Structure 1
Amino acid sequence: MTKEKKMHKYVSVLAAFMIALPVSAISDTLRFDGTYSLSGQTQDCKVENNNMVSAAFRIQNGLLYGLGSVCRLDNPTPIRDMNAVLYDINCADVDGNWPKRIFLMYTQDKGLLRVLDGHAFFNPACEE
């Protein structure tokens, strides 16, 4: 194999790795897309609703929307042998920006377990 062909093969493998890396990260942010109840009420869920009976949040395309804030899910770290991911999140609302970490995991009934530093929440999926 000529030096030029070896270099072409190396560049091709490197390019495939660079493309696969972001796709993997994107798939880890899309796996939790959906609308989840904050109150346990799964009918008539409304994101940005101040009525806690039907209040909900939505995860869509790597963003978490709800109750006046938007958080970007960054640096997904899949947890081995679990349907769970740990994220860095950067949130913003009218009062400013703040970083946090969040652990997300589906439960057996397709609800969502959210764990933030010192707090754990179960959020059932809303009926769409």
Structure 2
Amino acid sequence: MAHPNEALLRKGYEAFASYDLDTIRALFADDIVWHVVGGRNPLTGTIKGKDEVFGWFAKLLTLSDGTFKIDVHDVIANDNHAVVLSTDSAQRGDKSLRVEAVAVYHIDNGQVTEAWFFNSDAYADDEFFS
């Protein structure tokens, strides 16, 4: 049986794939802190607050022409944290992106309170999203 935090994140990733924003909103704490680590593109940095994170999602989808996809390979979880291993991809015009990624989540009382995102090629992110 999956750990509850594994199930929570799998539910969140499924909701992201189907643009189910209400489900995602319920999984995030109001004061969530979202860290996109590495690179110098418009998506990199620290975002604070649920509304700001949803603004970041909108920017991600705009900059990828709505093609950004996450293929989850595994979710590892305990009572306070979860790690998601994935391949992220997108296509915009003649540009394409495919990177291996790791996301680390802090979870408290069934909500994501903080998240850190790392990928295998920050330069590829910079080229694609800039």
TM-score (norm 2): 0.43
Name the structure with the higher helix share: 2
The structure with the larger Rg is 1
TM-score (norm 1): 0.43
Whose RCO is larger (CA < 8 A, sep 6+)?
2
